[in-house]
Structure 1
Protein backbone atom coordinates (compact mmCIF):
# COMPACT_ATOMS: atom_id res chain seq x y z
CA UNK A 1 0.00 0.00 0.00
CA UNK A 2 1.05 3.58 -0.61
CA UNK A 3 1.34 5.78 2.50
CA UNK A 4 2.04 8.87 0.41
CA UNK A 5 2.23 9.53 -3.29
CA UNK A 6 4.71 12.25 -4.06
CA UNK A 7 5.63 10.20 -7.12
CA UNK A 8 2.78 11.94 -8.93
CA UNK A 9 4.46 15.30 -8.34
CA UNK A 10 7.96 14.16 -9.28
CA UNK A 11 7.13 11.68 -12.06
CA UNK A 12 8.18 13.98 -14.89
CA UNK A 13 11.47 14.74 -13.14
CA UNK A 14 12.14 11.03 -12.60
CA UNK A 15 11.41 10.19 -16.23
CA UNK A 16 13.76 12.96 -17.39
CA UNK A 17 16.77 11.37 -15.67
CA UNK A 18 19.62 10.00 -17.83
CA UNK A 19 19.09 6.47 -19.12
CA UNK A 20 21.54 3.60 -19.46
CA UNK A 21 24.11 4.94 -16.99
CA UNK A 22 24.62 4.96 -13.23
CA UNK A 23 23.00 8.08 -11.84
CA UNK A 24 25.26 10.53 -10.03
CA UNK A 25 24.77 13.23 -7.40
CA UNK A 26 24.89 15.75 -10.22
CA UNK A 27 21.85 13.96 -11.72
CA UNK A 28 19.84 13.52 -8.52
CA UNK A 29 20.69 16.27 -6.06
CA UNK A 30 19.04 18.90 -8.21
CA UNK A 31 16.33 21.51 -7.71
CA UNK A 32 13.64 19.57 -9.60
CA UNK A 33 13.90 16.77 -7.01
CA UNK A 34 14.41 19.02 -3.97
CA UNK A 35 11.57 18.67 -1.45
CA UNK A 36 12.72 20.80 1.50
CA UNK A 37 15.66 22.94 2.53
CA UNK A 38 16.47 24.02 6.09
CA UNK A 39 19.83 25.71 6.54
CA UNK A 40 22.46 23.27 5.31
CA UNK A 41 19.95 20.40 5.31
CA UNK A 42 18.38 19.35 2.02
CA UNK A 43 15.71 16.69 1.51
CA UNK A 44 15.32 15.16 -1.94
CA UNK A 45 12.69 12.90 -3.44
CA UNK A 46 13.14 9.14 -3.78
CA UNK A 47 10.18 6.75 -4.19
CA UNK A 48 10.94 3.65 -2.15
CA UNK A 49 9.73 4.73 1.30
CA UNK A 50 6.29 5.64 -0.03
CA UNK A 51 5.35 1.96 -0.09
CA UNK A 52 4.61 -0.04 3.05
CA UNK A 53 3.87 -3.68 3.73
CA UNK A 54 0.93 -3.84 6.19
CA UNK A 55 1.37 -7.58 6.82
CA UNK A 56 4.99 -7.40 8.03
CA UNK A 57 6.08 -9.16 11.22
CA UNK A 58 9.40 -7.28 11.38
CA UNK A 59 10.12 -3.57 10.91
CA UNK A 60 13.71 -2.46 10.39
CA UNK A 61 14.19 1.27 10.88
CA UNK A 62 17.13 3.18 9.46
CA UNK A 63 17.97 6.86 9.74
CA UNK A 64 17.53 8.14 6.19
CA UNK A 65 18.18 6.71 2.73
CA UNK A 66 21.77 7.33 1.70
CA UNK A 67 22.77 8.28 -1.80
CA UNK A 68 23.34 4.66 -2.85
CA UNK A 69 19.79 3.71 -1.86
CA UNK A 70 18.46 6.83 -3.55
CA UNK A 71 20.28 6.03 -6.79
CA UNK A 72 19.10 2.42 -6.90
CA UNK A 73 15.50 3.41 -6.08
CA UNK A 74 15.42 6.08 -8.76
CA UNK A 75 16.90 3.81 -11.42
CA UNK A 76 14.32 1.14 -10.57
CA UNK A 77 11.54 3.74 -10.67
CA UNK A 78 12.54 4.85 -14.16
CA UNK A 79 12.33 1.25 -15.36
CA UNK A 80 8.92 0.75 -13.76
CA UNK A 81 7.44 4.00 -15.03
CA UNK A 82 8.63 3.37 -18.58
CA UNK A 83 7.03 -0.09 -18.38
CA UNK A 84 3.71 1.51 -17.47
CA UNK A 85 3.48 0.07 -13.96
CA UNK A 86 1.18 1.58 -11.34
CA UNK A 87 2.62 4.07 -8.85
CA UNK A 88 2.22 1.51 -6.08
CA UNK A 89 4.10 -1.18 -8.00
CA UNK A 90 6.84 1.29 -8.97
CA UNK A 91 7.37 2.27 -5.32
CA UNK A 92 7.24 -1.36 -4.19
CA UNK A 93 9.89 -2.46 -6.68
CA UNK A 94 12.06 0.52 -5.83
CA UNK A 95 11.88 -0.40 -2.13
CA UNK A 96 12.74 -4.04 -2.72
CA UNK A 97 15.74 -3.11 -4.86
CA UNK A 98 17.12 -0.32 -2.70
CA UNK A 99 16.65 -1.19 0.96
CA UNK A 100 19.96 -1.60 2.77
CA UNK A 101 21.59 -2.39 -0.55
CA UNK A 102 25.22 -3.48 -0.78
CA UNK A 103 27.59 -4.72 1.92
CA UNK A 104 25.39 -3.22 4.64
CA UNK A 105 22.62 -5.72 3.81
CA UNK A 106 25.01 -8.67 4.20
CA UNK A 107 26.15 -7.43 7.62
CA UNK A 108 22.55 -6.87 8.69
CA UNK A 109 21.52 -10.38 7.63
CA UNK A 110 24.52 -11.90 9.41
CA UNK A 111 23.63 -10.13 12.66
CA UNK A 112 19.96 -11.11 12.46
CA UNK A 113 20.86 -14.74 11.78
CA UNK A 114 23.30 -14.71 14.70
CA UNK A 115 20.42 -13.68 16.96
CA UNK A 116 18.27 -16.45 15.50
CA UNK A 117 15.51 -14.22 14.15
CA UNK A 118 15.07 -16.51 11.15
CA UNK A 119 14.02 -19.35 13.44
CA UNK A 120 11.08 -17.37 14.82
CA UNK A 121 9.96 -16.63 11.27
CA UNK A 122 10.46 -20.25 10.09
CA UNK A 123 13.13 -19.22 7.61
CA UNK A 124 16.44 -20.80 6.66
CA UNK A 125 18.13 -17.40 6.90
CA UNK A 126 17.07 -13.76 7.22
CA UNK A 127 18.39 -13.40 3.68
CA UNK A 128 14.93 -14.67 2.72
CA UNK A 129 13.38 -11.52 4.20
CA UNK A 130 14.94 -9.66 1.28
CA UNK A 131 14.11 -12.36 -1.25
CA UNK A 132 11.23 -14.88 -1.25
CA UNK A 133 9.76 -13.90 2.13
CA UNK A 134 9.50 -10.14 1.72
CA UNK A 135 5.92 -10.24 3.04
CA UNK A 136 7.41 -10.65 6.54
CA UNK A 137 9.49 -7.46 6.30
CA UNK A 138 8.87 -3.75 6.25
CA UNK A 139 11.76 -1.28 6.16
CA UNK A 140 11.44 2.41 6.90
CA UNK A 141 13.60 5.41 7.65
CA UNK A 142 13.11 7.99 10.37
CA UNK A 143 13.43 10.50 7.57
CA UNK A 144 11.35 9.00 4.78
CA UNK A 145 13.19 10.83 2.02
CA UNK A 146 16.98 11.22 1.58
CA UNK A 147 18.52 14.03 3.61
CA UNK A 148 21.94 15.49 2.85
CA UNK A 149 24.20 18.05 4.51
CA UNK A 150 26.23 19.91 1.92
CA UNK A 151 25.52 17.02 -0.50
CA UNK A 152 26.83 14.39 1.95
CA UNK A 153 24.65 11.71 3.58
CA UNK A 154 23.09 12.99 6.82
CA UNK A 155 24.55 10.96 9.70
CA UNK A 156 22.29 12.05 12.55
CA UNK A 157 25.04 14.02 14.28
CA UNK A 158 25.35 17.51 12.77
CA UNK A 159 22.74 18.60 13.60
CA UNK A 160 21.35 16.03 16.04
CA UNK A 161 17.98 14.87 14.78
CA UNK A 162 15.97 15.46 17.95
CA UNK A 163 17.56 18.89 18.48
CA UNK A 164 16.64 20.18 15.05
CA UNK A 165 12.96 21.27 14.78
CA UNK A 166 12.69 20.46 11.07
CA UNK A 167 14.16 16.96 11.35
CA UNK A 168 12.42 16.13 14.65
CA UNK A 169 8.95 17.04 13.43
CA UNK A 170 9.35 15.25 10.12
CA UNK A 171 10.76 12.09 11.71
CA UNK A 172 8.13 11.79 14.44
CA UNK A 173 5.20 12.33 12.08
CA UNK A 174 6.43 9.67 9.64
CA UNK A 175 7.37 7.20 12.36
CA UNK A 176 4.11 7.41 14.29
CA UNK A 177 2.11 6.97 11.08
CA UNK A 178 3.79 3.72 10.08
CA UNK A 179 4.11 2.21 13.56
CA UNK A 180 0.41 2.82 14.15
CA UNK A 181 -0.45 0.71 11.10
CA UNK A 182 2.00 -2.06 12.04
CA UNK A 183 1.00 -2.19 15.69
CA UNK A 184 2.23 -5.72 16.50
CA UNK A 185 5.44 -6.15 14.50
CA UNK A 186 8.88 -6.48 16.07
CA UNK A 187 10.84 -3.23 15.67
CA UNK A 188 14.58 -3.23 14.97
CA UNK A 189 16.08 0.28 15.27
CA UNK A 190 19.45 0.63 13.57
CA UNK A 191 21.82 2.80 15.55
CA UNK A 192 21.66 5.25 18.43
CA UNK A 193 19.81 8.08 16.72
CA UNK A 194 16.93 5.82 15.68
CA UNK A 195 16.88 4.18 19.11
CA UNK A 196 16.76 7.55 20.88
CA UNK A 197 13.77 8.58 18.78
CA UNK A 198 11.92 5.38 19.64
CA UNK A 199 12.78 5.87 23.32
CA UNK A 200 11.09 9.26 23.09
CA UNK A 201 7.91 7.60 21.83
CA UNK A 202 8.15 5.08 24.68
CA UNK A 203 8.48 7.88 27.25
CA UNK A 204 5.39 9.56 25.78
CA UNK A 205 3.37 6.35 26.05
CA UNK A 206 3.07 5.99 22.27
CA UNK A 207 5.14 2.80 21.93
CA UNK A 208 5.46 -0.42 23.93
CA UNK A 209 9.17 -0.85 24.76
CA UNK A 210 8.79 -4.65 24.58
CA UNK A 211 8.35 -4.43 20.80
CA UNK A 212 11.87 -3.06 20.24
CA UNK A 213 15.18 -4.88 19.78
CA UNK A 214 17.23 -2.41 21.81
CA UNK A 215 20.98 -2.18 21.25
CA UNK A 216 21.14 -3.20 17.59
CA UNK A 217 24.00 -1.27 15.92
CA UNK A 218 23.82 0.42 12.58
CA UNK A 219 25.34 -2.15 10.17
CA UNK A 220 26.92 0.40 7.85
CA UNK A 221 30.67 0.21 7.28
CA UNK A 222 30.78 3.84 8.45
CA UNK A 223 30.09 2.49 11.96
CA UNK A 224 33.50 1.09 12.83
CA UNK A 225 32.25 -0.20 16.20
CA UNK A 226 29.27 -2.15 14.83
CA UNK A 227 30.57 -5.64 15.64
CA UNK A 228 31.74 -4.65 19.13
CA UNK A 229 28.38 -3.02 19.81
CA UNK A 230 26.55 -6.07 18.56
CA UNK A 231 28.54 -8.37 20.84
CA UNK A 232 27.88 -6.11 23.83
CA UNK A 233 24.10 -6.29 23.38
CA UNK A 234 23.77 -9.76 21.86
CA UNK A 235 22.60 -11.49 25.05
CA UNK A 236 20.00 -8.82 25.77
CA UNK A 237 18.70 -8.83 22.20
CA UNK A 238 18.42 -12.62 22.22
CA UNK A 239 16.28 -12.37 25.37
CA UNK A 240 14.04 -9.75 23.74
CA UNK A 241 13.45 -12.06 20.78
CA UNK A 242 12.59 -14.94 23.09
CA UNK A 243 10.05 -12.80 24.93
CA UNK A 244 8.47 -11.20 21.87
CA UNK A 245 4.86 -12.24 21.25
CA UNK A 246 5.12 -13.76 17.79
CA UNK A 247 1.82 -13.72 15.94
CA UNK A 248 0.67 -15.84 13.03
Structure 2
Protein backbone atom coordinates (compact mmCIF):
# COMPACT_ATOMS: atom_id res chain seq x y z
CA UNK A 1 0.00 0.00 0.00
CA UNK A 2 1.41 3.37 -0.99
CA UNK A 3 2.31 6.01 1.59
CA UNK A 4 0.06 9.05 1.75
CA UNK A 5 1.44 12.57 1.59
CA UNK A 6 0.04 15.36 3.77
CA UNK A 7 -1.04 18.81 2.64
CA UNK A 8 -2.13 21.30 5.30
CA UNK A 9 -4.53 24.21 5.26
CA UNK A 10 -3.53 26.52 8.09
CA UNK A 11 -6.03 28.36 10.26
CA UNK A 12 -5.42 30.86 13.03
CA UNK A 13 -4.70 28.21 15.66
CA UNK A 14 -2.87 24.86 15.34
CA UNK A 15 -6.12 23.06 16.18
CA UNK A 16 -7.71 24.69 13.11
CA UNK A 17 -5.40 22.93 10.67
CA UNK A 18 -7.11 20.74 8.13
CA UNK A 19 -4.96 17.91 6.82
CA UNK A 20 -5.60 16.71 3.28
CA UNK A 21 -3.75 13.65 1.97
CA UNK A 22 -2.88 12.64 -1.57
CA UNK A 23 -1.40 9.65 -3.34
CA UNK A 24 -0.69 8.60 -6.90
CA UNK A 25 -3.18 6.49 -8.82
CA UNK A 26 -0.69 6.26 -11.68
CA UNK A 27 3.08 6.22 -11.39
CA UNK A 28 3.20 8.87 -14.13
CA UNK A 29 1.31 11.44 -12.02
CA UNK A 30 3.14 14.62 -11.08
CA UNK A 31 3.27 15.84 -7.49
CA UNK A 32 0.62 18.49 -6.65
CA UNK A 33 2.33 21.78 -5.94
CA UNK A 34 1.35 24.98 -4.24
CA UNK A 35 0.02 27.35 -6.86
CA UNK A 36 2.42 30.22 -7.46
CA UNK A 37 1.65 32.12 -10.63
CA UNK A 38 4.37 34.39 -11.97
CA UNK A 39 3.94 38.11 -11.57
CA UNK A 40 6.22 41.02 -12.37
CA UNK A 41 8.28 41.30 -9.17
CA UNK A 42 10.07 44.53 -10.07
CA UNK A 43 6.94 46.64 -10.50
CA UNK A 44 6.18 49.08 -7.67
CA UNK A 45 3.19 47.93 -5.62
CA UNK A 46 0.55 50.62 -5.25
CA UNK A 47 -0.68 49.04 -2.02
CA UNK A 48 2.55 50.10 -0.32
CA UNK A 49 2.39 53.71 -1.51
CA UNK A 50 0.77 56.80 -0.13
CA UNK A 51 -1.83 58.57 -2.26
CA UNK A 52 0.70 61.24 -3.28
CA UNK A 53 3.21 58.55 -4.34
CA UNK A 54 0.52 56.83 -6.41
CA UNK A 55 -0.24 60.12 -8.14
CA UNK A 56 3.45 60.64 -8.88
CA UNK A 57 3.93 57.26 -10.58
CA UNK A 58 0.65 57.79 -12.49
CA UNK A 59 1.97 61.09 -13.88
CA UNK A 60 5.15 59.26 -14.91
CA UNK A 61 3.07 56.92 -17.08
CA UNK A 62 2.58 53.96 -14.74
CA UNK A 63 -0.07 51.64 -16.22
CA UNK A 64 -2.12 49.58 -13.79
CA UNK A 65 -2.33 45.86 -14.60
CA UNK A 66 -3.89 42.92 -12.67
CA UNK A 67 -0.57 42.32 -10.90
CA UNK A 68 -1.19 45.51 -8.94
CA UNK A 69 -4.35 44.15 -7.33
CA UNK A 70 -3.70 42.44 -3.98
CA UNK A 71 -6.64 39.97 -4.27
CA UNK A 72 -5.49 38.99 -7.78
CA UNK A 73 -1.98 38.29 -6.52
CA UNK A 74 -3.39 36.31 -3.58
CA UNK A 75 -5.59 34.04 -5.70
CA UNK A 76 -2.55 33.30 -7.85
CA UNK A 77 -0.91 31.63 -4.85
CA UNK A 78 -3.88 29.73 -3.40
CA UNK A 79 -4.58 26.03 -3.85
CA UNK A 80 -2.65 23.09 -5.31
CA UNK A 81 -1.78 22.96 -8.97
CA UNK A 82 -2.41 19.72 -10.88
CA UNK A 83 -0.38 19.08 -14.03
CA UNK A 84 -0.94 16.72 -16.93
CA UNK A 85 0.90 13.39 -16.52
CA UNK A 86 1.22 12.77 -20.29
CA UNK A 87 1.26 14.29 -23.76
CA UNK A 88 -2.09 14.14 -25.56
CA UNK A 89 -4.10 15.70 -28.37
CA UNK A 90 -7.86 16.30 -28.21
CA UNK A 91 -10.30 17.72 -30.75
CA UNK A 92 -14.02 17.94 -31.40
CA UNK A 93 -15.49 16.45 -34.58
CA UNK A 94 -18.97 15.98 -36.01
CA UNK A 95 -18.88 12.45 -34.57
CA UNK A 96 -17.83 13.60 -31.11
CA UNK A 97 -14.60 14.08 -29.20
CA UNK A 98 -11.49 12.38 -30.60
CA UNK A 99 -8.13 12.08 -28.90
CA UNK A 100 -4.65 10.70 -29.14
CA UNK A 101 -3.37 9.70 -25.71
CA UNK A 102 -1.13 6.94 -24.38
CA UNK A 103 -2.72 3.91 -22.72
CA UNK A 104 -2.59 3.55 -18.95
CA UNK A 105 -0.24 0.58 -18.76
CA UNK A 106 -0.77 -2.13 -16.11
CA UNK A 107 2.57 -1.33 -14.47
CA UNK A 108 1.52 2.35 -14.15
CA UNK A 109 -1.70 1.58 -12.23
CA UNK A 110 -0.49 2.02 -8.66
CA UNK A 111 -4.01 1.57 -7.26
CA UNK A 112 -5.21 -0.77 -10.00
CA UNK A 113 -7.53 1.80 -11.58
CA UNK A 114 -7.85 2.66 -15.27
CA UNK A 115 -10.25 4.83 -17.26
CA UNK A 116 -13.12 3.41 -19.31
CA UNK A 117 -11.21 4.17 -22.50
CA UNK A 118 -8.01 2.65 -21.12
CA UNK A 119 -6.11 5.87 -21.93
CA UNK A 120 -5.33 9.08 -20.05
CA UNK A 121 -8.19 10.83 -21.87
CA UNK A 122 -11.80 9.73 -21.53
CA UNK A 123 -15.29 11.16 -21.98
CA UNK A 124 -18.22 11.10 -19.58
CA UNK A 125 -21.29 9.17 -20.78
CA UNK A 126 -20.94 10.32 -24.38
CA UNK A 127 -21.27 13.90 -23.17
CA UNK A 128 -18.94 15.26 -25.81
CA UNK A 129 -16.63 16.65 -23.13
CA UNK A 130 -13.19 15.10 -22.69
CA UNK A 131 -11.87 14.15 -19.26
CA UNK A 132 -8.15 14.25 -18.53
CA UNK A 133 -7.07 11.66 -15.96
CA UNK A 134 -4.28 13.25 -13.92
CA UNK A 135 -3.70 10.29 -11.61
CA UNK A 136 -3.86 11.98 -8.19
CA UNK A 137 -6.24 10.77 -5.45
CA UNK A 138 -7.11 13.11 -2.56
CA UNK A 139 -8.45 12.23 0.90
CA UNK A 140 -10.26 15.08 2.64
CA UNK A 141 -12.24 15.50 5.92
CA UNK A 142 -15.99 15.15 5.50
CA UNK A 143 -16.68 18.54 7.08
CA UNK A 144 -15.04 20.37 4.15
CA UNK A 145 -15.28 20.19 0.38
CA UNK A 146 -12.59 20.26 -2.28
CA UNK A 147 -13.22 22.51 -5.26
CA UNK A 148 -11.71 21.68 -8.64
CA UNK A 149 -11.16 24.95 -10.50
CA UNK A 150 -9.52 26.34 -13.56
CA UNK A 151 -6.17 28.05 -13.12
CA UNK A 152 -7.05 31.56 -11.86
CA UNK A 153 -7.03 34.23 -14.56
CA UNK A 154 -5.71 31.77 -17.13
CA UNK A 155 -6.51 34.26 -19.91
CA UNK A 156 -3.76 36.44 -18.44
CA UNK A 157 -1.17 33.84 -17.44
CA UNK A 158 -1.79 31.36 -20.29
CA UNK A 159 -3.33 33.42 -23.12
CA UNK A 160 -2.62 30.77 -25.78
CA UNK A 161 -4.43 27.97 -23.95
CA UNK A 162 -7.22 26.36 -26.00
CA UNK A 163 -9.35 24.85 -23.25
CA UNK A 164 -11.07 25.77 -20.01
CA UNK A 165 -11.92 23.57 -17.04
CA UNK A 166 -15.42 22.71 -15.89
CA UNK A 167 -15.36 23.61 -12.21
CA UNK A 168 -16.90 21.41 -9.54
CA UNK A 169 -16.87 20.71 -5.82
CA UNK A 170 -16.33 17.30 -4.25
CA UNK A 171 -18.20 16.77 -0.97
CA UNK A 172 -19.06 13.85 1.28
CA UNK A 173 -22.03 13.05 -0.96
CA UNK A 174 -19.59 12.05 -3.69
CA UNK A 175 -18.68 8.48 -2.74
CA UNK A 176 -17.60 6.85 -5.99
CA UNK A 177 -13.94 6.80 -4.99
CA UNK A 178 -13.24 4.43 -2.08
CA UNK A 179 -11.32 5.39 1.04
CA UNK A 180 -8.83 2.53 1.30
CA UNK A 181 -7.49 3.45 4.75
CA UNK A 182 -9.26 2.43 7.97
CA UNK A 183 -7.22 4.89 10.00
CA UNK A 184 -8.53 7.82 7.92
CA UNK A 185 -11.84 7.99 9.76
CA UNK A 186 -14.29 10.71 8.68
CA UNK A 187 -12.42 11.16 5.39
CA UNK A 188 -13.70 10.79 1.84
CA UNK A 189 -11.72 10.37 -1.36
CA UNK A 190 -11.82 11.53 -4.94
CA UNK A 191 -9.58 11.48 -7.98
CA UNK A 192 -8.48 14.71 -9.65
CA UNK A 193 -9.74 14.10 -13.18
CA UNK A 194 -10.57 17.33 -15.00
CA UNK A 195 -13.47 17.78 -17.42
CA UNK A 196 -12.43 20.10 -20.25
CA UNK A 197 -14.23 22.49 -22.58
CA UNK A 198 -12.27 22.85 -25.83
CA UNK A 199 -12.20 26.11 -27.76
CA UNK A 200 -9.93 24.70 -30.50
CA UNK A 201 -8.09 21.45 -31.23
CA UNK A 202 -5.86 21.10 -28.19
CA UNK A 203 -2.39 19.75 -27.57
CA UNK A 204 -1.42 19.16 -23.94
CA UNK A 205 2.13 18.33 -22.92
CA UNK A 206 3.27 16.42 -19.86
CA UNK A 207 3.72 18.96 -17.07
CA UNK A 208 1.26 21.51 -18.48
CA UNK A 209 -0.89 23.13 -15.76
CA UNK A 210 -4.49 21.88 -15.96
CA UNK A 211 -6.38 23.10 -12.89
CA UNK A 212 -6.21 23.57 -9.15
CA UNK A 213 -7.74 21.93 -6.07
CA UNK A 214 -8.90 24.25 -3.28
CA UNK A 215 -10.45 23.39 0.13
CA UNK A 216 -13.76 25.15 0.78
CA UNK A 217 -16.44 25.37 3.45
CA UNK A 218 -19.72 23.56 2.87
CA UNK A 219 -22.92 25.64 2.42
CA UNK A 220 -24.29 24.46 5.77
CA UNK A 221 -21.31 26.06 7.51
CA UNK A 222 -22.09 29.67 6.59
CA UNK A 223 -24.91 32.07 5.82
CA UNK A 224 -25.25 35.54 4.33
CA UNK A 225 -27.05 38.28 6.22
CA UNK A 226 -27.50 41.96 5.57
CA UNK A 227 -25.69 44.14 8.08
CA UNK A 228 -28.11 46.65 9.57
CA UNK A 229 -27.07 49.56 11.80
CA UNK A 230 -27.98 49.16 15.44
CA UNK A 231 -30.58 51.58 16.71
TM-score normalized with structure 2 length: 0.24
| Higher helix proportion (structure 1 or 2) | 1
Larger Rg: 2
TM-score normalized with structure 1 length: 0.23
